[in-house]
Amino acid sequence: MKQWRNFTKGFIKDNPVFILLLGLCPALGVTTSAFNGFGMGLATTFVLLGSNTVVSIIKNVIPNKVRIPSFIVIIASFVTIVQLTMEAYMPELFDALGLFIPLIVVNCLVMGRAEAFGSKNNIGSSIVDAMGMGLGFTLALTMLGGVREILGAYSIFGIQLIPGVTDGMLVFVLAPGAFIGMGYLIILFNYLKKKTA
Amino acid sequence: MKTFKSGGVHPPENKISQSAAIEVLPVPETVTIPISQHLGVPANPVVKKGDSVKAGQLIAKGEAFISANVHASVSGTVQKIDEVADSSGYRKKAIVIKVEGDEWEEGIDLSKDLVKDITLSPKEIVTRINEKGIVGMGGATFPSHVKMMVPEGKKADYLIINGVECEPYLTSDHRLMLEKAEEMLVGIRIQMRALGVEKAIIGIENNKPDAIEHIRSLLSDYPGISVEPLKVKYPQGAEKQLIKALLNREVPSGKLPIEVGCVVHNVGTSVAVYEAAQKNKPLVERVVTVTGKGLKSPSNFLVRIGTPVSALIEAAGGIPEDTGKLVNGGPMMGKALTDINTPVTKGTSGILLFPEQEAHRKPVHNCIRCGRCAGICPMGLEPYLLAVLAGNKKFEDCEDENIMDCMECGSCLYICPSGRPLLDQIRTGKSEVGKIMRARHK
Amino acid sequence: MVLSLFLVTAVASFTLATIYNLTAEPIAQAREAKRQFAISQVVPEFDRLESRNFLPPDGGDSLEFNFAYKNNELVGIAVNTWTNRGYSGRITAMVGFNTDGTIIDVVHLQHAETPGLGDKIEKGKSDWSDQFRGIDPETTAIRVKKDNGDIDAITAATITARAYCDAVQRAYDTFASHVLSQTKQDGGPAL
Amino acid sequence: MEYFAIVIGAIFVNNIVLAQFLGICPYMGVSAKVSTSVGMSGAVLFVMTLATIVTFLIYNYVLVPFNITYLQTISYILVISSLVQMVEIILKKVSPELYQALGIFLPLITTNCAIMGVALLTVQNEFNLMQGVVFAISHAAGFALAIILFAGIREHLDLMDLPKAMRGAPAALIVAGILALAFMGFAGLV
Amino acid sequence: MNILTVSGSPHVYTEESVSKIMYGVVLSLIPAALVSFYFFGLAAIMVTITAVASCMFFEYIIQRYLIKGPVTIFDGSAVITGVLLAFIVPANLPLWMVVIGSLVSIGMAKMTFGGLGKNVFNPALVGRVFLMISFPVEMNMYPKPTSFSTQLTDIVTGPTPLAMVKEGVAQGEKVSDILPEIPEYANLLMGNMGGSVGEISAIAIILGGIYMLIKKYITWEIPAAYIGSVFVLAGILWLIDPTYYVDPFFHLITGGLMLGAIYMATDMVTSPMSRWGMIVYGIGCGFLTIVIRVFGAYPEGVAFAILIMNAFVPLINRGFKPKRFGEEVKNG
Amino acid sequence: MFSIFARITTQESKTHDFFHSLTKQKQVNEITLISVISLGSLGTIAAIILYMVAQKFKVIEDPRIDIVEEKLPGANCGGCGYAGCRALAEEIVRKESLDGINCPPGGNEVMAEIATALGLETTEQEPTIAVVRCSGSKENAPPKVKYEGDMTCAFSHSLFSGEGGCPSGCLGYGDCVASCDFDAMYMNDVTGLPIVKENCVSCGACVKACPRNIIEIRKRGKKDRRIFVSCINVEKGGVARKNCKVACIGCGKCVKECKFDAIIFENNLAYIDFNKCTLCRKCPPVCPTNAIHELNFPPKKPRPENKTEPAKAE
Ligand SMILES: Cc1cc2nc3c(=O)[nH]c(=O)nc-3n(C[C@H](O)[C@H](O)[C@H](O)COP(=O)(O)O)c2cc1C
Ligand SMILES: Cc1cc2nc3c(=O)[nH]c(=O)nc-3n(C[C@H](O)[C@H](O)[C@H](O)COP(=O)(O)O)c2cc1C
Ligand SMILES: Cc1cc2nc3c(=O)[nH]c(=O)nc-3n(C[C@H](O)[C@H](O)[C@H](O)COP(=O)(O)O)c2cc1C
Ligand SMILES: Cc1cc2nc3c(=O)[nH]c(=O)nc-3n(C[C@H](O)[C@H](O)[C@H](O)CO)c2cc1C
Ligand code: SF4
Ligand code: SF4
Ligand code: SF4
Ligand code: SF4
Ligand code: FES
């Protein structure tokens, strides 16, 4: 039960993006479409999962003084893995996400979880936590991407909603739309959080 | 014509009682004399219940440096010394005297003769003013003798007499300047002597041309005194603005007028000084304007201190049916009364009655940041900011924004199109900042 | 302490190196596939490619010419061209030429134009770039109509359209000076 | 002229925060007061320039010669984080005043996309060292412009009682959105 | 006797009120509205009515159901926002886009912050810029002025004078070759040019501005600093190279400059408080307008310039305070 | 893991290449070697530099800062409002309390750990709650004048004695409610008096906010039962009574009734000392104005709601 709550808390109550306001850069930067958001979310989840697991395995072996550098190295390794595999097998998505893939390494969410959770808990809980948070992150990015795609291009996951009409309200595809969409989604999540609390 | 440069407002003047000559109001049946009618420490009663007193007799002694004596304004028996509601409804200690006859202390010259020769030395003048309980009649009721004692190292070169009466409605100073001009001028000479200054300027707004004319015609007998007509603008009567208007000197923030070599007194104070010095008469009566648009006969009364306000209104034709607000003082600075039986004190320059439809604040809207309040603030402050900072309890920021410079003239609240309670909030801020500053000094 | 950090980095880099080696080929393949795909969009079916670089006459980076052969017969030349006059930065495109110099088709490779505006140069987003199909740059002015050319601009994205024309023109100019001229001299298709 | 284009482009047209979405965390987190946002901007300027120089050297003299550019991410983050910590420790000892003004923001910057992002963009744009430095400084200036403006607005909004649901992050993001809208006006300057 | 009222001093208040000011401004907009109705016909009227109605509607909905506070739609500020929003979009803009613009103006730019007086950015301008970025095609087709027509669709469109100059210069044409295609200045001044609904007639707008100055709804600082700095900067460029930079008068009377300087930059909610602050703000607006008009992608920069300067207002208010009485010792 | 990605792009065939490539390449070893050496040395150099710098420039600091920082997530996200985790740690150690401090990534668990580490847990105290000591509702103390202006108790208090005339009575503009960060108070629209809810954490903000000192932090009492004098007016009985029907008139009856010396009588006002009061419920009935309130007791003969009515002296 506790694990379940650990797992689901990232969806609404402690949603890393909308409630905790972590990792805002990728959340704003790559969410021009639902699919991009989804892809970025999964990539981050993977890094989160990997680093959380490894950190919780080796937490006792690493001397305190070099704890942070070690974590950084571990996280960066996973990021590079994602980077390389994505470039190899999903070149389109790799192009779309661009700079933000290497920047997963500095995503506060990843580092924060590795430190706050991975370094203090056993493997099992760490995995659950990473999955929960990662999926919460994915959910958030997909939603933001979805909203922006629907308003900005009248489509969702690439499927046109109004046949023949391809131009939506362009702002939502551009930078201001990211901020604005995020602003209103935060309101929605605060409301949901209150509702479910 | 001279005036102060920045800020200020010009509300409708409404000086409806300006042609009503001063009438002497009959002595009431009981008077209630608060022991604190001045700024500073309250006086200590020196009579007790049952004592019989004469008009002009000392009944409470101001013992601290900033305090003032209080005298009986009537003769009779001390009925009680008790807490009595003042104009704000809070209870303060007061001496209640039941009137019996109208007997005056010995040595008080009650005749109307003008005594021109000044015999007292500067020191004696200050002592006399202190003894006779003279306080500023311009509204602040600051004990006058304190102002006469120029601090070490400072030097006054101008005495400024405040005949501006910039508040709408009020006319007591105006009538005084018309009817007691000579007494005032002698009083000014006395004050000049006490301060050791050669020059005195009487500042009068030019909506009182008759007073300007009248005083000018008398000036030849009184060397060193001049009259300066001023453009009508509120709050020209505030001493810093008056000094700026007359001499273009700017009293530094947080400092007193003496910093720029000035001492400011009200015309009423000058008359009171005359009476104290030349006639040995303490401050037991004053001129009060009773006015208001619905009032039958707006008047100026010479009233004994302690007379209930209701008696004044009665004498001016009774309280109109639709009165919605009673104000002690002018419409800009006066205090609203909670009770019609509050006594007249040394600082009561007028009683103002507002009909119901003028008695209310405007509906409050959001501040539209029009900047009018900042534009008219004579102290160059930003009232909208001070108010919102105080409302948010950011008192340190209030202090940084110089909230203590605000003299509570009310221009900002007057001008605000959104009806913001600016001055209310600023006052709260000032009192909190005051607390913080005092705590820091300790 | 130093040792453990060394170990961590060593292990990490070893893992990464392994992954790198594993993915190196797929990455290269993916890139190659992309290039081939782009080429195949602008020239007819081919079974062999030969690439050479030529400098454009107005200077700047050289263009990659991909000569496509089917059964050893030249079926088209795909020119990888560029322009720096895009609304936001460089646009690259692949232009396919017939041996006589007419354009077979054009496809964009990379751009950073505004989504919804400038990205209409993409084939999937709009059929705007179809206008280039089959035109002969000798006779058709590759300029937007505003500049007295024959190409319709993209509404509200003239800059992009203009830039795209610039890229195509660059491809043609280079093609003309290095390939066509040679063909004309030799009296037959080059290479 | 080329440098001019880099500067204008980085500060106004492609503002790092408002157009490129880098460094949003400090933008939201350290912008409550104008004074702190000024301190933060100073720290970002400092670290961004330094990091760009160091990563430039690492990239061009280690990664490229050994043909291991795929280690870019990991080596950058290592270099940047130890650099920042080094600077912080030195600053604390050498100049406590400067540390108070800038240093306290340094740890915040270690793991910040803006620094990493600019370092990566320098490579992507194939700049030389001098261009890279100008690029970094201009981006830092763009960051400063955005965050200081934003802090001014937030201080102002702090005094207005906003509708409850809007307070905090939502209002801040909408302000950022409108700011980004306004900055679109600089489009096409370079 | 009534129950007495007690309140702090003062006890008298001006006659001026928020709604009086707002409706005064609406009144002063009438000449500009009439000119636009004349040149753009029924379309302009429809756009204006739609904008005003939807602004008031959205304000009502939000205040009533979302904020659940007092409803103040009749204080006139939503009316001004509506009118001004209509005035800065093309007359032939589809009405549903006008409605979206109103929603953005009121819902996003104004009510997010709590309504009148609390917003940081000028609502009407946020609405316009939002539309401009969202619907670049529609927001770029300006109808050609005709004398009153009731036509709503298929209106002949053409570029605005500013766009013509910008496009021409970008093509390397000389200003002297472009200007003849544009009506002469007297005509421009009257409003006979392509442009947004209400911005076309400088004369009508100046008339309204004078009325507002007399009524003290605005002060001279912002318009003067804004228009002045545009004139000076454009003049400098023109003196440097008159072949490629158009003369300063042209900048003053075309595009939204007059409307912006007199009605939008002066919105007290979003402009600085102190005199020097206003002057700095006005100069900033002027500078940015010229930068965007001359060097940017857009032919017109007024909306962006004012919005950007709106963002500076809190900082300007901190830096430029009124002169405090007794701040420095001064003995005359 | 990879298969997830692979499926998305439907490039399953590529996974085959992936395994295929494992077995070939001789370059592999070379690149691996270079990578390990260069990155390893980079990491080592970084570690050495950091270590040396740290040694050389050691600044003496409160060791607890390190302890706290250790507990914190180290994300340096700034979410707490401080400039990074260390700054927060410094602040916690300086303040020696966790009031108003929250670390979003760490959450409550982390906060609890820090509290344990620093020994900050508040020693168990008897629970307390805020109590409003005025019953001058609109009915009990009818307004005599109308107040307009800044609707705050602070200003109204500084201006005059209040609409009801009682100089100690509740002004009813809710400064206390506004000051409560825990949503533990609200204004009762009918009486115009504030009401404290049971979720009050007795932070004392409302006590400070009330310009009239009406609110007091008192013991919660067993089963939340409390008895207190709901008036703080020190005016003479007659004066007080004139403004308010339920004022304490200083008759002293309750003092006589109390067997435990719990009632202090001073300045015409009774005050019940909550440390001495045994909740015996003897005093409330004797109060002629019903100024003594009892809360959360089971109903007795006169039901608690009656207390607003002036009782007939028995
Ligand atoms: C604490 C204090 C000390 C003062 N000391 C002097 C003084 O030494 N000399 C003087 O001329 N006025 C003195 N004043 C009086 C003020 O200058 C001023 O006249 C008085 O506060 C009333 O002015 P107002 O009605 O403009 O507020 C003092 C006032 C205060 C409050
Ligand atoms: C806003 C304001 C307006 C004032 N207006 C007058 C006025 O009209 N006439 C006057 O005599 N004093 C006025 N005063 C009081 C003067 O500032 C000053 O206290 C007084 O002239 C000093 O003389 P006194 O001590 O003899 O009263 C005003 C004060 C303030 C703050
Ligand atoms: C955010 C933004 C993005 C833009 N993107 C492009 C673009 O991708 N391509 C382009 O040609 N113009 C772009 N523009 C420029 C304008 O649309 C410009 O007015 C237009 O290119 C020239 O106008 P015209 O095509 O209507 O003649 C952009 C402008 C802005 C503000
Ligand atoms: C002189 C003046 C100018 C105004 N200009 C604008 C404007 O440009 N845009 C707008 O939305 N509202 C304007 N308003 C109305 C009002 O101030 C505006 O709706 C507020 O910004 C909303 O908080 C103006 C009001 C006045 C008095
Ligand atoms: S009351 Fe104070 S703030 Fe308001 S105008 Fe007067 S001096 Fe300025
Ligand atoms: S006068 Fe009123 S509305 Fe105008 S700025 Fe001041 S407080 Fe705001
Ligand atoms: S402010 Fe504090 S003490 Fe008062 S009611 Fe709220 S939680 Fe309780
Ligand atoms: S208890 Fe005090 S603060 Fe609360 S409403 Fe009453 S007077 Fe105001
Ligand atoms: S995710 Fe970019 S700074 Fe935190």
Q: Is residue F99 in some structural domain?
A: yes
Give the up-direction half-sphere exposure of residue B338: CA atoms within 13 A in the CB hemisphere: 25
The whole-angstrom separation of Cα D42 and Cα D38 is 6
DSSP secondary structure string for all residues of chain F: -HHHHHHHTT-HHHHHHHHHHHT--SHHHHHHHHHHHHHHHHHHHHHHHHHHHHHHT-----HHHHHHHHHS------TTSSSHHHHHHHHHHHHTS-TT---TTTHHHHHHHHHHHHT-PPPP---EEEEE-----TTTS--SSEE-SS--HHHHHHH-S-TT--TTS---S-HHHHH-TTS-EEE-TTT--EEE-TT-----HHHHH-TT--EEEEE--GGG-EEEE-----S-HHHHHHH-TT------HHHHH-TTS-EEEETTEEEE-TTT------HHHH-TT--EEEESPPP-SS-GGGGGSPPPP-
Contact state of D79 with F46 under an 8 Å Cβ cutoff: yes
Query: Shortest Cα distance from E233 to chain B (angstroms)?
Result: 29
pLDDT-derived band at F313, boundaries 50, 70, 90: very low
**In one letter, which amino acid is F117?**
A
pLDDT tens, residue by residue, E190-221 = 888 888 888 889 999 999 999 999 999 999 99
Q: Hey, which chains touch C, using 3+ CB pairs under 8 Å?
A: A, D, E, F
pTM for this model (two decimals): 0.89
Is the model more confident about E98 or about F95?
E98
Report CA(B144)–ligand 1 centroid distance (Å): 9
Closest residue of chain F to D37, computed from CA coordinates: F83
Q: Are C161 and C154 in contact (CB under 8 A)?
A: yes
Identify the CA nearest to B22 among candidates B208, B311, B298: B298
Q: How confident is the model at residue F307 (pLDDT cuts 50, 70, 90)?
A: very low
Q: What is the pLDDT of residue C169?
A: 92
B275, B291: one domain: no
* Binding-face residues of E in 8-67 toward F, CB within 8 A: 8
The answer, yes or no, to whether D and C have at least 3 beta-carbon pairs within 8 Å is yes
Task: Give Cα separations from B14 to A145, B23, B60, B292 (angstroms).
Answer: 66, 20, 38, 9
pLDDT at F27 over 80: no
| pLDDT mean over F227-252 | 91
Q: How confident is the model at residue F309 (pLDDT cuts 50, 70, 90)?
A: very low
Last-in-domain residue among F94, F118, F142: F118
Task: Looking at the structure, tell me whether residues B350 and B256 fall in a common domain.
Answer: no
Handedness of CA B28, B32, B36, B42 (dihedral sign): positive
Q: How far apart are CA D26 and CA E127, in angstroms?
A: 29
Who contacts F139 (Cβ-Cβ below 8 Å, separation ≥6)?
F191, F308
How far, in Å, CA of F85 to CA of D108, rounded?
Answer: 8
pLDDT > 70: percent of chain B: 100
- Nearest alpha-carbon partner for F267 in F253, F249, F255: F249
- Nearest-angstrom CA–CA distance, B314 and B312: 5
Q: Where are the alpha helices (DSSP H) in chain D?
A: 2-8, 24-29, 34-58, 72-94, 96-101, 106-110, 113-124, 129-159, 169-183
**Looking at the structure, do residues F94 and F211 belong to the same domain, yes or no?**
no
Q: Where are the alpha helices (DSSP H) in E73-115?
A: 77-87, 95-102
Residues 155-174 on A with a CB inside 8 Å of E are 167-172, 174
* pLDDT classification of D108: cutoffs 50, 70, 90: low
Domain contains F55: no
Using a CB-CB cut-off of 8 Å, the residues of chain E touching D152 are 311-312, 314-315, 318
Question: What confidence score (pLDDT) does residue D139 get?
Answer: 95
Residues of E in contact with C154 (CB under 8 A): none
F296/B410: higher pLDDT: B410
Does C27 contact chain D (CB < 8 Å)? no
Give the Å distance between the CA of E105 and the centre of ligand 9.
30
| pLDDT tens figures, C58-77 | 888 888 999 999 888 889 99
| Residue F35 touches chain D, beta carbons under 8 Å | yes
Q: Which residues contact A158 (CB under 8 A, 6 or more apart)?
A: A33, A35
- A180: contact with E, CB 8 A cutoff: yes
Note whether B338 and F161 are within 8 A (CB).
Answer: yes
Residue B394: pLDDT band with limits 50, 70, 90:
very high
pLDDT by residue (tens digit) across B94-127?
999 999 989 999 999 999 899 999 999 999 999 9
pLDDT value of residue F31: 75
Mutate: best of D62, D82, D90, D97, partner F, most F CBs <10 A: D82
Q: Is D3 helix (H, G, I), strand (E, B) or coil?
A: helix
How many domains, chain D? Answer: 1
In chain A, whose CA is at the least distance from the CA of C28?
A88
Q: Residue range E178-200: average pLDDT?
A: 84
One-letter amino acid at D100 equals Q
Q: Examine the fold and report which residue of B279, B294, B328 is the final residue of a domain before the chain moves on.
A: B279
pLDDT given at position F9: 41
Q: Which two tokens mark C103?
A: 């354009």
DSSP E strand stretches across C62-135: 63-70, 73-86, 89-97, 103-110
Query: Do E178 and E190 contact (CB within 8 A), yes or no?
Result: no
- Ligand 6: atom nearest CA of B422 is 7
Checking if the pLDDT of E131 tops 80, the result is yes
CA gap B207, F264 in Å, rounded: 62
Task: State CA E280 to chain mean position distance.
Answer: 18
| Range in B211-215, D60-64, E31-35 with the lowest mean pLDDT | D60-64
In chain C, where are the structural domains located? 40-186
B161 pLDDT higher than 50: yes
Q: Is the CB of C156 under 6 A from ligand 3?
A: yes
**Is residue E171 pLDDT above 90, yes or no?**
no
Find the CATH number of the domain harbouring B61. Answer: 2.40.50.100
Instruction: Based on the fold, state whether residues B349 and B377 are members of the same structural domain.
Output: no
Residues 95-114 of chain C whose Cβ lies under 8 A from any Cβ of chain A: 114
Choose from A106, A144, A186 for mutation: most chain D CBs within 10 A. A106
Tell me, what CATH number does F151's domain have?
A: 3.30.70.20
Strand partners, C77: C67, C97
Q: Which atom of ligand 9 is nearest to the CA of A108?
A: 4
Answer yes or no: do D152 and E314 touch at CB < 8 A. yes
Tokens representing residue B402 in the block: 């110089």
Average pLDDT, chain B: 94
Distance, in Å, from the CA atom of C78 to the CA atom of C63, rounded to the nearest integer, reads: 10
Can you give the pLDDT at residue F105?
61
Same domain, F182 and F81: no
Determine the pLDDT at residue F2.
Answer: 39
Q: Is residue D57 part of a domain?
A: yes
Domain count for chain B, please give it: 4
Is residue D188 situated within a structural domain?
no
Chains that touch E (3 or more CB pairs under 8 A): A, B, C, D, F
- Residue F26: predicted pLDDT: 52
Contact between residue B145 and residue B47 where contact means Cβ atoms under 8 Å apart:
no
Count structural domains, chain F.
Answer: 2
Q: Which residue of B has its CA nearest to D157?
A: B388
Instruction: Give the mutation candidate from D12, D58, D77 for the A interface (greatest A CB count, under 10 A).
Output: D77
What sections of chain C are H helices per DSSP?
2-42, 158-175, 181-186
Number of A/D CB contacts below 8 angstroms equals 117
For B293-305, the pLDDT digits (tens) are 989 999 999 999 9
- Per residue in C116-145, pLDDT (tens digit) is 788 889 888 888 989 999 889 888 888 888
Contact B225, B202 (CB under 8 A): yes
- State residue E76's pLDDT score: 93
- The CATH number linked to B353 is 3.10.20.600
pLDDT digits (tens, 9 = 90+) for F33-56: 787 777 777 777 777 777 776 666
Q: Which atom of ligand 3 is nearest to the CA of E132?
A: 31
Q: F248, F133 in Cβ contact below 8 A?
A: no
Task: Give me the residues of chain A with pLDDT under 50, please.
Answer: none
User: Which of F155, F165, F235 lies at the smallest CB-CB distance from B427?
Assistant: F155
- Would you tell me how many other CB atoms lie within 10 Å of the CB of residue A112? 29
What is the whole-number distance in angstroms between the Cα of residue E96 and the centre of ligand 4? 23
Beta carbon of E265 within 6 Å of any ligand 4 atom: no
Cis omega (within 30 of 0) for bond into E143: no
Radius of gyration of chain A (CA): 17
Mean predicted confidence (pLDDT) in F291-313: 62
Q: What is the pLDDT of residues D86-97, one digit of tens each?
A: 887 777 777 777
**B132 and B258 belong to one structural domain:** yes
**Domain assignment of residue B425, given as a range:** 372-440
pLDDT band at E329 (very low <50, low <70, confident <90, very high): low
Higher pLDDT, A164 or C18: C18
Atom in ligand 4 nearest the alpha carbon of residue E21 = 27
Instruction: Tell me the chain A residues in contact with residue F68 when contact means C-beta distances shorter than 8 Å.
Output: none
| Domain identity same for B146 and B89 | no
Q: Which of A30, A101, A107, A110 to mutate to test the pocket of ligand 9 (most atoms within 8 A of CB)?
A: A107
- Whether residue B328 is predicted with pLDDT greater than 70 in this model: the reply is yes
Question: CA F91 from chain center: how many Å?
Answer: 20
CB contact under 8 A, C2 and F44: yes
Whether F130 contacts F210, CB under 8 Å: no
D94 is in which domain, residue-wise? Answer: 10-182
**Pairing assessment for the beta strands E157-158 and E142-143 based on DSSP bridges:** antiparallel
Ligand 4 within 6 A of E84 CB?
yes
Closest chain C residue to the Cα of F26, Cα to Cα: C21
Ligand 3 lined by C132 (C-beta under 6 Å):
no
CB contact under 8 A, D188 and C87: yes
Per-residue pLDDT band at F70 (split at 50, 70, 90)? confident
**F108 pLDDT higher than 60:** yes
Residue nearest to ligand 9 atom 4, measured at CA: D25
Q: Is residue B11 part of a domain?
A: no
Residue type, F119: G
Q: Which chain D residue is nearest to residue C90, measuring alpha carbons? A: D125
Q: What's the alpha-carbon Rg for chain E, to the nearest Å?
A: 21
Give dist(CA A170, CA E139) in Å, integer: 12
List the single range of B84-88, B129-133, D8-12 with lowest mean pLDDT.
B84-88
Look at ligand 2, atom 25, and give the residue with the nearest C-alpha.
B136
pLDDT, chain A, mean: 86
Q: Is E25 in the pocket of ligand 4 (CB under 6 A)?
A: yes
With contact defined as beta carbons under 8 Å apart, do E283 and E227 qualify?
Answer: no
Best residue among B384, B412, B422, B424 to mutate for probing ligand 6, ranked by most atoms within 8 Å of CB: B384
Does residue F143 carry a pLDDT above 80? Answer: yes
Residues with CB under 6 A from ligand 6: B 367-373, 383-384, 415-418, 420, 422
Q: Which ligand is nearest to the CA of E14?
A: 6
On the question of pLDDT at F303 being above 60, the answer is no
Domains of chain E, residue spans = 18-139, 159-318
User: Between chains, do A166 and C34 touch, taking CB under 8 Å as contact?
Assistant: no
Q: Which two tokens stand for residue D29?
A: 């987190």
Q: Whose CA is nearest to atom 7 of ligand 6?
A: B384
Residue F292 one-letter amino acid: I
**Range C157-165 average pLDDT:** 89
DSSP string of B197-257, one letter each residue: -SEEEEEEETT-HHHHHHHHHHGGGSTTEEEEEE---BTTTSHHHHHHHHH-EEPPTT--G
Range ranked top by mean pLDDT from A20-29, D13-22, D117-126, E210-219 = E210-219
CB contact under 8 A, A109 and F105: yes
In the numeric block, which tokens belong to residue E296? Answer: 């940017």
Q: Which two tokens stand for residue B436?
A: 């913080």
Measured between alpha carbons, how far is A43 from B149 in angstroms, rounded to an integer? 82
Q: How far, in Å, is the centroid of ligand 4 from the Cα of E122?
A: 7
Say yes or no: B45 and B92 in one domain: yes
Which one of the ligands is nearest to B258 CA? 1
Q: Is E1 on the interface with F (CB under 8 A)?
A: no
Structure confidence by residue, pLDDT tens digits, F74-104: 666 566 667 777 788 888 888 777 776 776 6
pLDDT at F21 over 60: no
E3–F143 CB contact, under 8 Å: yes
| Per-residue pLDDT, A98 | 81
Q: Whose CA is nearest to atom 22 of ligand 2?
A: B265
